[in-house]
Protein backbone atom coordinates (compact mmCIF):
# COMPACT_ATOMS: atom_id res chain seq x y z
CA UNK A 1 0.00 0.00 0.00
CA UNK A 2 2.90 2.37 0.70
CA UNK A 3 4.02 2.14 -2.94
CA UNK A 4 0.89 3.88 -4.25
CA UNK A 5 1.62 7.36 -2.85
CA UNK A 6 5.26 7.24 -4.00
CA UNK A 7 4.25 6.18 -7.52
CA UNK A 8 1.63 8.89 -7.57
CA UNK A 9 4.19 11.50 -6.56
CA UNK A 10 6.65 10.15 -9.17
CA UNK A 11 4.04 10.42 -11.94
CA UNK A 12 3.10 13.93 -10.84
CA UNK A 13 6.73 15.07 -10.88
CA UNK A 14 7.22 13.68 -14.40
CA UNK A 15 4.08 15.42 -15.53
CA UNK A 16 5.26 18.75 -14.10
CA UNK A 17 8.69 18.42 -15.75
CA UNK A 18 7.06 17.62 -19.10
CA UNK A 19 4.66 20.56 -18.70
CA UNK A 20 7.46 23.09 -18.05
CA UNK A 21 9.55 21.73 -20.92
CA UNK A 22 6.57 22.09 -23.25
CA UNK A 23 5.97 25.68 -22.11
CA UNK A 24 9.63 26.58 -22.63
CA UNK A 25 9.63 25.02 -26.11
CA UNK A 26 6.51 26.92 -27.14
CA UNK A 27 7.97 30.18 -25.80
CA UNK A 28 11.21 29.64 -27.75
CA UNK A 29 9.28 28.89 -30.94
CA UNK A 30 7.18 31.99 -30.45
CA UNK A 31 10.26 34.13 -29.87
CA UNK A 32 11.94 32.69 -32.99
CA UNK A 33 8.84 33.34 -35.14
CA UNK A 34 8.65 36.88 -33.77
CA UNK A 35 12.32 37.44 -34.69
CA UNK A 36 11.90 36.13 -38.24
CA UNK A 37 8.67 38.05 -38.85
CA UNK A 38 10.24 41.32 -37.73
CA UNK A 39 13.39 40.88 -39.80
CA UNK A 40 11.55 39.90 -42.97
CA UNK A 41 8.64 42.32 -42.56
CA UNK A 42 10.80 45.40 -41.94
CA UNK A 43 13.99 44.97 -44.01
CA UNK A 44 14.53 48.73 -44.28
CA UNK A 45 14.70 49.37 -40.54
CA UNK A 46 16.10 46.16 -39.07
CA UNK A 47 18.24 44.48 -41.71
CA UNK A 48 20.31 47.39 -43.02
CA UNK A 49 23.86 46.16 -43.27
CA UNK A 50 26.07 48.95 -44.52
CA UNK A 51 26.32 52.18 -46.51
CA UNK A 52 29.10 52.88 -48.99
CA UNK A 53 29.95 55.79 -51.27
CA UNK A 54 31.51 55.07 -54.66
CA UNK A 55 31.09 55.51 -58.41
CA UNK A 56 29.71 53.12 -61.03
CA UNK A 57 31.89 53.04 -64.13
CA UNK A 58 29.92 52.16 -67.27
CA UNK A 59 31.61 49.74 -69.64
CA UNK A 60 29.65 51.19 -72.57
CA UNK A 61 30.36 54.91 -72.21
CA UNK A 62 33.67 54.81 -70.36
CA UNK A 63 32.19 57.30 -67.89
CA UNK A 64 30.17 57.09 -64.68
CA UNK A 65 26.52 56.78 -63.73
CA UNK A 66 25.21 60.08 -62.42
CA UNK A 67 21.88 60.91 -60.79
CA UNK A 68 20.83 64.46 -61.65
CA UNK A 69 17.37 64.13 -60.13
CA UNK A 70 14.61 62.44 -62.09
CA UNK A 71 17.08 62.17 -64.98
CA UNK A 72 19.85 59.56 -64.85
CA UNK A 73 22.63 58.94 -67.35
CA UNK A 74 26.08 57.36 -67.65
CA UNK A 75 28.01 60.46 -68.77
CA UNK A 76 29.43 61.52 -65.41
CA UNK A 77 33.07 62.56 -65.07
CA UNK A 78 35.39 60.87 -62.60
CA UNK A 79 34.94 62.74 -59.32
CA UNK A 80 31.87 64.65 -60.52
CA UNK A 81 29.50 65.53 -57.69
CA UNK A 82 26.51 63.87 -59.36
CA UNK A 83 28.52 60.68 -59.95
CA UNK A 84 29.03 60.09 -56.23
CA UNK A 85 26.58 57.37 -55.23
CA UNK A 86 25.37 56.35 -51.78
CA UNK A 87 24.82 52.59 -51.95
CA UNK A 88 22.67 51.12 -49.18
CA UNK A 89 23.17 47.38 -48.73
CA UNK A 90 20.73 45.14 -46.87
CA UNK A 91 21.67 42.08 -44.83
CA UNK A 92 19.65 39.50 -46.76
CA UNK A 93 21.45 38.83 -50.05
CA UNK A 94 22.98 41.53 -52.26
CA UNK A 95 19.95 43.81 -52.33
CA UNK A 96 20.95 47.45 -52.67
CA UNK A 97 19.45 50.91 -53.11
CA UNK A 98 21.45 53.51 -55.04
CA UNK A 99 21.07 57.19 -54.20
CA UNK A 100 22.80 60.25 -55.60
CA UNK A 101 24.88 61.89 -52.87
CA UNK A 102 24.28 65.35 -54.33
CA UNK A 103 20.71 65.06 -55.65
CA UNK A 104 19.25 62.71 -53.00
CA UNK A 105 17.30 60.80 -55.69
CA UNK A 106 17.27 57.01 -55.95
CA UNK A 107 17.65 54.94 -59.13
CA UNK A 108 14.33 53.16 -59.74
CA UNK A 109 12.77 51.07 -62.50
CA UNK A 110 9.13 51.57 -63.46
CA UNK A 111 6.82 48.75 -64.52
CA UNK A 112 7.43 49.61 -68.19
CA UNK A 113 11.19 49.18 -67.64
CA UNK A 114 12.03 52.89 -67.73
CA UNK A 115 14.81 54.10 -65.42
CA UNK A 116 13.99 57.23 -63.39
CA UNK A 117 15.03 58.98 -60.21
CA UNK A 118 12.78 59.08 -57.14
CA UNK A 119 13.17 60.89 -53.82
CA UNK A 120 11.52 58.02 -51.94
CA UNK A 121 13.59 54.87 -52.42
CA UNK A 122 11.65 52.56 -50.10
CA UNK A 123 9.61 51.12 -52.96
CA UNK A 124 10.65 47.70 -54.28
CA UNK A 125 11.13 49.30 -57.72
CA UNK A 126 14.22 51.02 -56.27
CA UNK A 127 15.90 47.80 -55.10
CA UNK A 128 18.50 46.06 -57.27
CA UNK A 129 20.42 42.83 -56.83
CA UNK A 130 24.16 42.75 -57.49
CA UNK A 131 25.39 40.02 -59.83
CA UNK A 132 29.17 39.58 -59.95
CA UNK A 133 30.23 38.47 -63.42
CA UNK A 134 33.21 36.38 -64.54
CA UNK A 135 34.69 39.36 -66.42
CA UNK A 136 35.04 41.24 -63.08
CA UNK A 137 32.16 43.55 -63.91
CA UNK A 138 28.97 43.88 -61.88
CA UNK A 139 25.40 43.78 -63.21
CA UNK A 140 22.38 45.18 -61.36
CA UNK A 141 19.11 43.36 -61.89
CA UNK A 142 15.77 44.66 -60.64
CA UNK A 143 14.53 42.95 -57.47
CA UNK A 144 10.93 43.45 -58.58
CA UNK A 145 11.13 42.84 -62.33
CA UNK A 146 13.12 39.64 -62.74
CA UNK A 147 15.56 39.60 -65.65
CA UNK A 148 15.44 43.37 -66.17
CA UNK A 149 18.79 45.12 -65.70
CA UNK A 150 20.05 48.63 -65.17
CA UNK A 151 21.76 49.57 -68.42
CA UNK A 152 22.86 52.51 -70.58
CA UNK A 153 23.44 52.83 -74.33
CA UNK A 154 26.54 54.31 -75.98
CA UNK A 155 25.15 57.84 -75.61
CA UNK A 156 24.74 57.29 -71.88
CA UNK A 157 20.96 57.19 -71.94
CA UNK A 158 19.22 54.53 -69.82
CA UNK A 159 17.86 51.46 -71.58
CA UNK A 160 14.48 49.99 -70.80
CA UNK A 161 14.82 46.99 -68.53
CA UNK A 162 12.74 44.86 -70.88
CA UNK A 163 15.44 45.30 -73.55
CA UNK A 164 18.38 44.16 -71.44
CA UNK A 165 20.17 40.89 -70.76
CA UNK A 166 23.09 40.01 -68.51
CA UNK A 167 25.44 39.42 -71.46
CA UNK A 168 25.08 42.94 -72.88
CA UNK A 169 27.95 45.36 -72.26
CA UNK A 170 25.33 48.04 -71.56
CA UNK A 171 24.58 46.46 -68.17
CA UNK A 172 28.19 45.96 -67.06
CA UNK A 173 29.59 48.27 -64.38
CA UNK A 174 32.67 48.55 -62.20
CA UNK A 175 32.82 50.03 -58.71
CA UNK A 176 35.33 52.85 -58.41
CA UNK A 177 36.51 55.32 -55.85
CA UNK A 178 36.49 58.99 -56.96
CA UNK A 179 39.66 60.26 -58.63
CA UNK A 180 42.33 61.11 -56.09
CA UNK A 181 40.42 59.55 -53.19
CA UNK A 182 41.30 56.11 -51.84
CA UNK A 183 39.62 54.53 -48.86
CA UNK A 184 42.31 52.38 -47.13
CA UNK A 185 39.69 49.75 -46.28
CA UNK A 186 38.59 49.54 -49.92
CA UNK A 187 41.94 49.95 -51.69
CA UNK A 188 42.21 46.27 -52.61
CA UNK A 189 38.56 46.00 -53.68
CA UNK A 190 38.63 48.94 -56.09
CA UNK A 191 42.18 48.76 -57.50
CA UNK A 192 42.52 47.11 -60.91
CA UNK A 193 45.85 45.35 -61.45
CA UNK A 194 47.21 45.75 -64.99
CA UNK A 195 50.40 44.62 -66.78
CA UNK A 196 51.86 48.06 -66.12
CA UNK A 197 51.27 47.90 -62.35
CA UNK A 198 52.73 44.37 -62.22
CA UNK A 199 55.90 45.59 -64.00
CA UNK A 200 56.18 48.58 -61.66
CA UNK A 201 55.97 46.31 -58.65
CA UNK A 202 58.77 44.09 -59.99
CA UNK A 203 61.03 47.11 -60.58
CA UNK A 204 60.32 48.72 -57.20
CA UNK A 205 63.45 48.38 -54.96
CA UNK A 206 63.18 46.41 -51.77
CA UNK A 207 64.33 48.59 -48.80
CA UNK A 208 65.36 45.52 -46.83
CA UNK A 209 68.10 44.65 -49.35
CA UNK A 210 69.76 48.10 -49.05
pTM attached to this predicted model: 0.65
**Torsion sign across C-alpha atoms 181, 186, 191, 193:** positive
Tens of pLDDT, residues 55-66: 999 999 999 999
Cβ of 99: how many Cβ atoms within 10 Å? 23
Say how many C-beta atoms besides its own lie within 10 A of residue 123's C-beta. Answer: 12
> Which band of pLDDT confidence, cut at 50, 70 and 90, is reported for residue 103?
very high
Dist CA 182 CA 175 (whole Å): 12
3-state secondary structure 83-144: HCEEEEEECCCCEEEEEECCCCCEEEECCCCCEEEECCCCCHHHCEEEEECCCCCEEEEECC
d(C-alpha 161, C-alpha 165), whole Å: 8
Query: Of the candidates 63, 67, 98, 96, which has an alpha carbon nearest to the alpha carbon of residue 81?
Result: 67
| pLDDT value of position 22 | 63
- For residue 71, the number of C-alpha atoms closer than 13 Å in the C-beta half-sphere is 6
For the stretch 12-55, pLDDT in tens is 676 666 666 666 655 545 454 544 444 444 444 444 568 999 99
Give the mean pLDDT of the chain.
79
Report the C-alpha gap between 41 and 92 in whole angstroms.
12
Give me the pLDDT at residue 46, please: 44
**What sign does the dihedral 105-124-43-175 (CA atoms) show?**
negative
Reported confidence tier of residue 81, pLDDT bands at 50, 70, 90: very high
Question: Is 80 exceeded by the pLDDT of residue 175?
Answer: yes
Amino acid sequence: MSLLPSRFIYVCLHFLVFYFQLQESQQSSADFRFYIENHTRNPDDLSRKQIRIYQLYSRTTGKHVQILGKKINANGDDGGKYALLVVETETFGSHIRIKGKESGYYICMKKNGKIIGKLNGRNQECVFIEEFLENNYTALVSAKYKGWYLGFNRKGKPKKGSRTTQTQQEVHFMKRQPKGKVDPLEEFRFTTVTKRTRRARRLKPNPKTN
